[in-house]
Structure 1
Amino acid sequence: MPVRLASKASLPGETVDSMMAMCFGLLYGPQLRQRPGCGLARSGCCNRRRFPPTASRRKTGSCAPASLPAGPAAQAWPIARMPMTSPTPSSGRSAPPDRIDRLPVRHRADLAERETVPLAQRLSHMRSTFDVFDVAAERWPSRTAISHLPDGDPAEAAIDITYATLRDRIVQAANLFGSLGLGADDCVVYLLPIVPEAHYCIWGAQAICRVAAINHYLEPAQMAELLKALDATVIVTASPSLAPDLWAKVAPLLPTLPGVRATFLVGGAAGAAPGGTRDFAEALAGQPTVPRFAPVPDPERVAACFHTGGTTGTPKIAQLNHRSLVVNSWMLGEMFDMQPSDVVVCGLPLFHVNGVVVTGLAVFMSGARVLLSGRNGFRNPALLPNFWKLVERFRVTTFSGVPTVYAALLNVPLGGADITSLRFGICGAAPMPVETFNRFEKATGIRLLEGFGMTETTACASVNPRDGERRVGERRVGSVGLPVPYTRMKTVLLDADGAYVRDADTDEIGVVAIQGPHLIPGYRDARHNAGLWLPGEWLNTGDLGRQDADGYFWLCGRAKDLIIRGGHNIDPSMIEETLARHPDVALAAAVGQPDAYAGELPVAYVTLRPGATADAEALKAFARSHVTERAAAPAWVECIDTMPVTAVGKIFKPALRKRAIERALRELFDAASLPVVAVRVQDDPQHGVVALAHFDTEAQCRQAEELAGTLTVKVRCTLAERTTRQTTTPPGTR
């Protein structure tokens, strides 16, 4: 039958409000919910003038088969981009749960069981990252979302922030950025330590536009380059009183950025913001806690930008959309059995996806508590010595750290602290030496779950099945586990030009490729996308690995040249370009040398120009004084006669890495007064490369194997044969 439409003028105001509220409820169910404190509950419509007349509607479909076939081919299923639609008005919401029911994660079959339900159906109520906080505030309004220890001291009073308050601050931040006229193409850049205001900024900005993180430990010139590459519109940074060193770097840059409309400072005294800036807390207080912004219309809209790899030349900036952030956070909750009762330490910086997602959004999605452990997190010299006290006081259940954190904690005695609340530790960002892994578990009794991920996968792509009091899963020490739900991983063989040749066989080393709904759509500068994708929308990670018969992945090295020092990514070109500026240097190449503490240390090889007078020590000093990032300063520089090159004249870094491994082992054995007869590094079909060390006695072999276990390279120690009894210096060294 025909429907008669009435104009607003012909209807009572209450009727119009009711009809509009009903319509917006149909279109934006997750965003508009009637609860105390919400403008919709009071007026029948939440800022109705700002909402668009229509909403994007997509069909819901499945992206995964009901089961996975055996072997490497199990990871080759195509996976479609998943729409995330709003629930129907009749779906309603369940009562606030104290526990989230999750299926076990023990092996690949458990993941396949999850994938029988379309991902879009699981996350139909979350189209954007803001929805995570809207839902959490409704389900757990009085639960503590964040406990903040400004100085990271376990004895200091914590600042607790409930989910209701967190949601309100995020809304105020979004309203603030919206009031400046920001839209989807604008960018809020934050340079902040680990403080609650960083979360207000991150998630509030994403409701309006893009948000971008900049590593605040970088030098000013690098910061300026990134700010320009990001087209920064608003800057949120630390006040002179909160972080004087950071402000000293940022302040001189502000006059050089004409596109920046406003700069907000966090942590300053009221009314004390320097000229040209505004106090962030005061600005938030002036905004309502009722949204004055429309819901994010498309889950594929870019939400966040993180710079990765190199910071010289044109920055490589990865773009993450709302879908990838929400999906990967849900995946992590499933893999870790995250519950509202969990307490998770955030010790990694909030300019890194680990801090933002693994110990951020994934925790908030589960109604758990994030413990902000001081402005500098694990970099705070007072935190690690008191870490076990922190665990005892707050009943911490898990934390995420890089191998250097776990190595440092090995030197911290428990001191009688009760750490029985800890379910497990999460390790990523760099490979964990098996010896460190085993020593940590033996000393603390804490299970470690090692995983693999990168900014390009939002955060996590694979992880070992969880293990502990709630679920029992099969961990394989040394592996990076199984792909997270709705994700496909495989290893592939590429030709010399990086083109796909074929899928690798079981236990055959190849380049790790990933396919899933949590991958980045690409880099901000499209030129950086060259080589990023393989046929079928598979992400080329650049990492070498193998997949065993049960679907577990084992990393064997990196095809790319990135150096990872304690979880910190270093572009070798930063070192190479610095050394190349020295007048005596002809060629320079930087690689990572295995290190027991940092995982890798940057080292450099150079060839000199004719008539050069500089030696290795002089070049090392030159590099250390001129490199733009402290972590990139080479541990040593070695002068060689001839640089190894490929047939087309490119520097052949695998040969240099082998040389660095040999040097690292010799230094390790020399420091222990362990006489080694010979060391040789060679290619290996299973481990990528293997170091062979020869000794005179079996006792020396056993001692050497124990020492070498602290490195990430595979080492085999054997008795020396007569033919190996030589300790010659590698040719071409001086």
Structure 2
Amino acid sequence: MGVFPLPDLHISTIADIHALEQTAVTDLALPNSTYELLQNAAATYGDKVALRFLPKATLDEQSINLSFRQLFAGVTQTANALHQLGVDKHSVVSMLLPNLPQTHLAIWGAEAAGIFNPINPLLEVEHIAAIINEAQSKVLITLAPMQGSDLWQKAQAIKQLAPCLSHILTVNLTPSADGSQHLSDSVLDFDATIKAQPADRLISGRQFAPDDIASYFHTGGTTGTPKLAPHTHRNELVCCYQMASVVNLDAQSKCLCGLPLFHVNGVFVTGLAPWLVGSEVILATPAGYRTPALMDNFWALVERYRVSFFSCVPTILSGLLDKPSEGHDLSSLDVALCGAAPLATELMRKFERKTGIVLLEAYGQTEGTCGSTVNPKHGERRVGSVGLPLPYLKIRIVEVDAQGKWLRDCAVNEPGCVAISGPNVFSGYKQAQQNEGQWIAEGWFNTGDLGRLDEDGYLWLTGRSKDLIIRGGHNIDPQMIEEAFYQHPEVAEAVAIGKPDKRVGEVPVIFLQLQKGAGVSLDELMRHAQASIHEKAAVPKEIHLVEAMPLTAVGKIFKPQLRNQLIEKMVTDELNALLQTPFKVAVRVDKKLGQCVIVSTTAESAATVKQALADYTFCLEVNQG
């Protein structure tokens, strides 16, 4: 019996999920808060290891361990320290940290005292400050000054741009001998500050309700107006129940976390969900999968620590394919989960053939707390689909009008917009204006993804509406093109995007990252495309080779950067052939106008520029100077 007694689940079909749902969510006896979950875990598992931290992911290092009792005590102390700094249930605590034991204390301590707001440390200062101002955060938790990190410099600049911040707590990875608590009136040492607090109770006396806001997660990309998705404690707890259930975690499971703890996958799938049932979490280095040693030693670490579960994104699978797994005992490894971006079926097949591991493709979004669907561990894994809905999560495929309003529900296997509803789905963005056009009906969120539900309830994604390549009114799914190139043995990564075209609106092009030592020519790759892509309109017009794909901090390929680079070069080449005067081209993504090209040139050339670029569908801005 674990902290939370999961039923003996062997979900194989949609009927199994429906049978499970006969028990109402309110009858699951989930805790009222994430704090109470950790409290129950500490009471049940005591000195069992809850969190094992690997600072360097080397094979000879000693891990830093926290038991369930120590973890809960640290969370309690963190909550009490934040309370002393003026944080109440309506206050926001922002976090700008790599993956550390203190990061988990900050996350769950912030949710116990107020509202947690994680921020991607790789964002620019202005964007971070905009998130903090939108959240109206009182406290920022970040790193103290240290070599190799610019977070302290960012925090100082952010403080000038975010007057709502009253205090900064700094995690010092190279502490001084005295461990001084007071660095200034507004800057405090994290470890010393929480150490001074009681560990056996919340001094606030807070009583939690499941509908209390637990967190604000930033979503919607790395540019534009910050979009904050509030999660309630119920949202997060149901999400943890769903993920632990479908992966069959228990007190013997050992879950490796290599994804960042500012992202929902790292926080819940390989964070709180394991602790719901008493599993051990192995936190692998501050930078996770971005640490070369973790990737190099991955299979040896699985063997040494008897890892049974890990979660990743497709780019991680590609990287692990280059790392020899032969000779390592991987018998502990039960299952791996891949999500956050579409998984090419050929990449999945290559990975399973190489490692023998059962790989489950999943799908989700921050607005659904984390997960929405997963291929069943015990049932048919339909390669190419993202699986069955998680327990208690409902999916509809709908047709909407230009304003996002519901027109009709789609038939079985008919593609349309994917809408979700359930106890893990949020109630709307913090900013009311961000909710316009996002809800097809009460409680039904339009994900912005396109897909279809087959006759057995499996969801098949067909792309994001904004990623579709529209050629002369013909919709082309970029994933279809990418799949064809992944079948080529010398292709490591493939990204298809639409290149603006005056005649047909867009034509498909492909960006390829080749395997190390590949010797294939562009002509050979084009012949492969022509033989493999049966839809003539989808055969790419151009092939671009890149040394490495641009990635988000979570490890997803960042398509907007490739698209912007492509358009900038295209426009530059076209204007070079026309203009004798100097000019400069920049590309940005505008939320209302989409792709926007800005050309700065002389007054005498402005009219020529406008005429030359008038037939493209992108927004054009010509500046004279």
- What TM-score results when the alignment is normalised by the length of structure 1? 0.66
Match of 1:392 among 290, 303, 312: 303
Match of 1:491 among 381, 390, 397: 397
**Does the CA-based 8 Å contact 2:393-2:421 persist in structure 1?**
yes
Equivalent position amino acid for 1:186 in 2: S
Match of 1:691 in 2: 538
**Does the CA-based 8 Å contact 1:403-1:599 persist in structure 2?**
no
Match of 1:500 among 406, 412, 422: 406
Q: Give the Cα–Cα distance (whole angstroms) in 1 for the partners of residues 113 and 4 of structure 2.
A: 32
Equivalent position amino acid for 1:150 in 2: P
Match of 1:284 in 2: 194
Establish whether residue 319 from structure 1 lines up as the match of residue 230 from structure 2. Answer: yes
Distance change (3 Å), C-alpha of 1:103 and 1:560: same
Distance change (3 Å), C-alpha of 1:296 and 1:532: farther
Alignment of 1:93-132 (within 5 A): 101-122=7-28, 124-132=29-37
Distance change (3 Å), C-alpha of 1:492 and 1:256: closer
Match of 2:355 among 444, 458, 463: 444
Alignment of 1:2-81 (within 5 A): none
Distance change (3 Å), C-alpha of 1:493 and 1:733: farther
Distance change (3 Å), C-alpha of 1:103 and 1:197: same
**Does the CA-based 8 Å contact 2:30-2:237 persist in structure 1?**
no
SS at match of 2:150: helix
Deviates more, 1:265-274 or 1:541-550: 265-274
Shift of 1:154: 3.2
Q: Give the Cα–Cα distance (whole angstroms) in 2 for the partners of residues 228 and 98 of structure 1.
A: 37
CA displacement, residues 604-662 of structure 1 (integer Å, 9 cap, x when unaligned) = 857xxxxxxxxxxxxxxxxxxxxxxxxxxxxxxxxx5x386xxxxxxxxxx53x52359
Match of 2:263 in 1: 352
SS at match of 2:117: strand
Shift of 1:213: 0.7
Shift of 1:191: 0.4
SS at match of 2:524: coil
Q: Give the Cα–Cα distance (whole angstroms) in 1 for the partners of residues 221 and 468 of structure 2.
A: 8
Shift of 1:602: 8.9
Match of 1:542 in 2: 448
Q: Give the Cα–Cα distance (whole angstroms) in 1 for the partners of residues 116 and 245 of structure 2.
A: 26
Deviates more, 1:414-423 or 1:209-218: 414-423
Distance change (3 Å), C-alpha of 1:561 and 1:98: closer
Distance change (3 Å), C-alpha of 1:135 and 1:683: farther
**Does the CA-based 8 Å contact 1:152-1:375 persist in structure 2?**
no
Q: Give the Cα–Cα distance (whole angstroms) in 2 for the partners of residues 562 and 151 of structure 1.
A: 41
Alignment of 1:525-540 (within 5 A): 525-540=431-446
Match of 2:278 among 367, 377, 388: 367
SS at match of 1:360: helix
Equivalent position amino acid for 1:127 in 2: N
Equivalent position amino acid for 1:279 in 2: D
Q: Give the Cα–Cα distance (whole angstroms) in 1 for the partners of residues 24 and 4 of structure 2.
A: 25
**Does the CA-based 8 Å contact 1:480-1:553 persist in structure 2?**
yes
How many residue pairs get matched? Answer: 523
Distance change (3 Å), C-alpha of 1:228 and 1:358: same
Match of 1:555 in 2: 461
Shift of 1:285: 0.6
Q: Give the Cα–Cα distance (whole angstroms) in 2 for the partners of residues 278 and 434 of structure 1.
A: 49
Match of 1:571 in 2: none
Equivalent position amino acid for 1:388 in 2: W
Shift of 1:492: 1.0
SS at match of 1:514: strand
Q: Give the Cα–Cα distance (whole angstroms) in 2 for the partners of residues 291 and 598 of structure 1.
A: 51
SS at match of 2:348: helix
Match of 2:588 in 1: none
Q: Give the Cα–Cα distance (whole angstroms) in 2 for the partners of residues 272 and 601 of structure 1.
A: 49
Deviates more, 1:673-682 or 1:109-118: 673-682
Match of 1:196 in 2: 101
Alignment of 1:623-662 (within 5 A): 642=502, 655-656=505-506, 658-661=507-510
Equivalent position amino acid for 2:454 in 1: D
Equivalent position amino acid for 2:281 in 1: V
Q: Give the Cα–Cα distance (whole angstroms) in 1 for the partners of residues 511 and 125 of structure 2.
A: 37
Gaps in structure 1 of 5+ consecutive residues: 1-94, 467-471, 564-590, 607-639, 645-654, 695-711, 713-729
Match of 2:164 in 1: 259
CA displacement, residues 382-408 of structure 1 (integer Å, 9 cap, x when unaligned) = 110110011011000010000000011
CA displacement, residues 454-494 of structure 1 (integer Å, 9 cap, x when unaligned) = 0000000110111xxxxx32211111111011111121112
Match of 2:549 in 1: none
Match of 2:180 among 259, 271, 286: 271
Shift of 1:255: 3.5
Match of 2:57 in 1: 152
Match of 2:384 among 464, 478, 486: 478
Gaps in structure 2 of 5+ consecutive residues: 470-477, 542-556, 558-569, 575-625
Match of 2:287 in 1: 376
Distance change (3 Å), C-alpha of 1:682 and 1:244: closer
Distance change (3 Å), C-alpha of 1:690 and 1:102: farther
**Does the CA-based 8 Å contact 1:210-1:304 persist in structure 2?**
yes
Match of 1:219 in 2: 124
CA displacement, residues 571-592 of structure 1 (integer Å, 9 cap, x when unaligned) = xxxxxxxxxxxxxxxxxxxx99
SS at match of 2:297: helix
Q: Give the Cα–Cα distance (whole angstroms) in 2 for the partners of residues 663 and 207 of structure 1.
A: 46
**Does the CA-based 8 Å contact 2:241-2:276 persist in structure 1?**
yes
Q: Give the Cα–Cα distance (whole angstroms) in 2 for the partners of residues 678 and 433 of structure 1.
A: 16
Give aligned-pair identity as a percent.
36
Match of 2:240 in 1: 329
Shift of 1:692: 5.3
SS at match of 1:540: strand
Q: Give the Cα–Cα distance (whole angstroms) in 2 for the partners of residues 465 and 482 of structure 1.
A: 7
Q: Give the Cα–Cα distance (whole angstroms) in 1 for the partners of residues 494 and 207 of structure 2.
A: 41
SS at match of 2:407: strand
Shift of 1:328: 0.7
SS at match of 1:244: coil
Equivalent position amino acid for 2:245 in 1: E
Alignment of 1:537-686 (within 5 A): 537-561=443-467, 594=482, 642=502, 655-656=505-506, 658-661=507-510, 670-671=521-522, 673-674=524-525, 676=527, 679=530
Q: Give the Cα–Cα distance (whole angstroms) in 1 for the partners of residues 406 and 226 of structure 2.
A: 27
RMSD: 3.3
Q: Give the Cα–Cα distance (whole angstroms) in 1 for the partners of residues 33 and 214 of structure 2.
A: 9
Deviates more, 1:303-312 or 1:477-486: 303-312
Q: Give the Cα–Cα distance (whole angstroms) in 2 for the partners of residues 680 and 496 of structure 1.
A: 37
CA displacement, residues 246-294 of structure 1 (integer Å, 9 cap, x when unaligned) = 2222222223433212111113412287544211110111000122133
Shift of 1:229: 1.4
**Does the CA-based 8 Å contact 2:269-2:311 persist in structure 1?**
yes
Distance change (3 Å), C-alpha of 1:295 and 1:680: farther
Q: Give the Cα–Cα distance (whole angstroms) in 1 for the partners of residues 338 and 351 of structure 2.
A: 12
Equivalent position amino acid for 1:659 in 2: P
Q: Give the Cα–Cα distance (whole angstroms) in 1 for the partners of residues 327 and 409 of structure 2.
A: 51
Q: Give the Cα–Cα distance (whole angstroms) in 2 for the partners of residues 98 and 225 of structure 1.
A: 39
Q: Give the Cα–Cα distance (whole angstroms) in 2 for the partners of residues 164 and 200 of structure 1.
A: 13
- What TM-score results when the alignment is normalised by the length of structure 2? 0.77
**Does the CA-based 8 Å contact 1:194-1:372 persist in structure 2?**
yes
Shift of 1:671: 3.4
Task: Looking at secondary structure, tell me which structure has more strand per residue.
Answer: 2
Alignment of 1:221-240 (within 5 A): 221-240=126-145
Q: Give the Cα–Cα distance (whole angstroms) in 2 for the partners of residues 305 and 672 of structure 1.
A: 49
Distance change (3 Å), C-alpha of 1:357 and 1:259: same
Q: Give the Cα–Cα distance (whole angstroms) in 1 for the partners of residues 164 and 441 of structure 2.
A: 39
